[in-house]
Amino acid sequence: MRSCQGRLIWILLALGVILLVVAIASAAIFLILRGQESRTTGWQDPIAVVSADEVASDLALYPLAGASELDTIDAAIANGDLETAYAALAFGLEPSDAQRIGRLLLLAERFVGLEKPDRAAVAYQQVYDLAVLSPHLTDPARADALLASGKGWATAGDESQGLEALDQAYLIAAQSPTLQMANRRDVLAALEKAYAELGDEARAEECRARIIELDQQTSAHPPVVPMELPDLPQGETAISSPEVGVLEEARRQAAYALLQVLIEGGDPPAELVSGLAEALKAEDAAKLDLYALELEGTTQPSRRISVGWEMVRWLMLKYEVAARGFGLSLVPEWEAALPEIQSALSKAYEGLFFDYEDLVTALPDASLIGPGSYQVRRQVILDGRLGRYPNYPASQLADKLQDAAQALISAGSLESLYVDVARQDDALHFFLSPASEYGLAAESP
């Protein structure tokens, strides 16, 4: 009897040890998986990560009622509705590149404070892409954006991305001929501090050496005038009709009526939501018909570009409605047709890009053709990286960008830094490169 009791005790002890081992292993696997899920690496579509369920419709609907996108974004940030601000910024085309960078940096900082590193990372990714790819920023603005995104990325826990952005800022500070001496020194001093805080003493020392070199220069070198770019249209010419004007006002009034109820804290009445939906669908039919007729009726690239931008702006709004970016289900038919709306937006961007290429090729000043082609290709890739141009042909456009940059280098362009691309599997990484090293980035296995 005593022997059986002893055997039972040993069996129970063995089972306890096994259960303990299983529990420890399960906990370890959970922590590993949670760590893998807490940080997403690689490029992410900024629009695909919009969290529609967290968008406050009583703020998000203001642009549909005629308010400025920028005012709506700023109000949402001030109110602490970060996902609302992010959605408005992701879908909005109104903010300039510099304005977008400022808002993204502010949002990213707030996301870090709320311990949402993945949300911050997507914002910093956009700041980096804007700083590298935008044809409309000055080199001082690029350096400041890269410096801020680099420090922010590191604070959010991704030091490798942070160092990449800081290194790009250093490249501008060291090699851009358009920086004033004081500006160059300020960027290097900020970089020295940032590198030191990351524990990278070698890079910090390199910045110190550059600063000493600048301080010891006996004569100042005036900054070089940046490469001249053609003044390409950006869709400033409105394309409308009396019918479209009436329908736009009807939509604004319908959105305003719905807003008044939401602001007072009530649930959205079905009749007001339906009224706004009908107004949107009527506006959609009229605008698409108008833009199609305009495109069929002209071969002039500048006119087609104006129409193309109007088409893109409308389809972006339709995309936002379909993705529930306003925080409400407004037009269920559009939600069901989201892939078709994305496809229409892609075709609109493709047509716009071809019209820009035609316009640049026909420029009367031949010296502006190369810079113009480079400018257009940077912009269309940036639109793809920001999620505006769904499923854009990234690899094909990257090849075209490199062709345009190499043509400028071969022609002896005074630009010192050019946008280059590195390929790893199916991923593309864009970065600034000196002319002497352009195209040397090896493809990763």
What's the pLDDT score for residue 21? 38
Higher-confidence residue: 255 or 423? 255
> Residue 445: inside a domain, yes or no?
no
Are 206 and 315 members of one domain? no
> Residue 205: inside a domain, yes or no?
yes
Instruction: Answer yes or no: is pLDDT of 432 > 80.
Output: yes
Are 259 and 369 members of one domain? yes
441 — pLDDT class (breaks 50, 70, 90):
confident
Q: How far is CA 179 from CA 173, 175, 185, in A?
A: 7, 9, 10
> Residue 5: inside a domain, yes or no?
no
**Number of compact structural domains in the chain:** 2
Are 248 and 397 members of one domain? yes
Closest CA to 91 of 315, 274, 309, 269: 315
Domain extent at residue 340: 242-416
Are 341 and 256 members of one domain? yes
Instruction: Answer yes or no: is pLDDT of 25 > 60.
Output: no
Are 263 and 396 members of one domain? yes
What's the pLDDT score for residue 220? 63
Instruction: Answer yes or no: is pLDDT of 245 > 90.
Output: yes
Are 397 and 282 members of one domain? yes
Q: How far is CA 262 from CA 72, 138, 248, 271, in A?
A: 15, 42, 21, 14
What's the pLDDT score for residue 219? 63
Residue at 257: amino acid letter:
A
Are 210 and 250 members of one domain? no
Q: Which residues contact residue 325 at a Cβ distance below 8 angstroms, ignoring those fewer than 6 apart?
A: 50, 52, 55, 60, 87, 88, 90, 91, 319
> Residue 385: inside a domain, yes or no?
yes
> Residue 77: inside a domain, yes or no?
no
> Residue 340: inside a domain, yes or no?
yes
pLDDT (average), residues 226-253: 92
What's the pLDDT score for residue 267? 87
pLDDT (average), residues 238-255: 97
What's the pLDDT score for residue 440? 87
Are 334 and 376 members of one domain? yes
Instruction: Answer yes or no: is pLDDT of 59 > 70.
Output: yes
Higher-confidence residue: 422 or 11? 422
Instruction: Answer yes or no: is pLDDT of 414 > 60.
Output: yes
Are 305 and 391 members of one domain? yes
What's the pLDDT score for residue 12? 46
23 — pLDDT class (breaks 50, 70, 90):
very low
Instruction: Answer yes or no: is pLDDT of 403 > 70.
Output: yes
415 — pLDDT class (breaks 50, 70, 90):
confident
Least confident of 59-68, 100-109, 209-218, 293-302: 209-218
Are 188 and 117 members of one domain? yes
226 — pLDDT class (breaks 50, 70, 90):
confident
> Residue 228: inside a domain, yes or no?
no
Q: Which of these three, 179, 198, 215, is where a domain ends?
A: 215
Report the CATH number that the domain containing residue 156 is assigned in CATH. Answer: 1.25.40.10
Instruction: Answer yes or no: is pLDDT of 97 > 50.
Output: yes
Higher-confidence residue: 19 or 149? 149
Instruction: Answer yes or no: is pLDDT of 42 > 90.
Output: no
Are 165 and 305 members of one domain? no
By the 8 A CB rule, do 166 and 194 touch? yes
Global pTM value: 0.88
Instruction: Answer yes or no: is pLDDT of 271 > 50.
Output: yes
> Residue 34: inside a domain, yes or no?
no
The model's pLDDT over 98-125, given as tens digits with 9 standing for 90+, comes to 999 999 999 999 999 999 999 999 999 9
Higher-confidence residue: 229 or 128? 128
222 — pLDDT class (breaks 50, 70, 90):
low
Instruction: Answer yes or no: is pLDDT of 257 > 60.
Output: yes
Instruction: Answer yes or no: is pLDDT of 11 > 70.
Output: no
Instruction: Answer yes or no: is pLDDT of 353 > 60.
Output: yes
Are 273 and 191 members of one domain? no
What's the pLDDT score for residue 26? 38
Instruction: Answer yes or no: is pLDDT of 443 > 50.
Output: no
172: left (phi over 0), alpha (psi -120 to 50) or beta: alpha
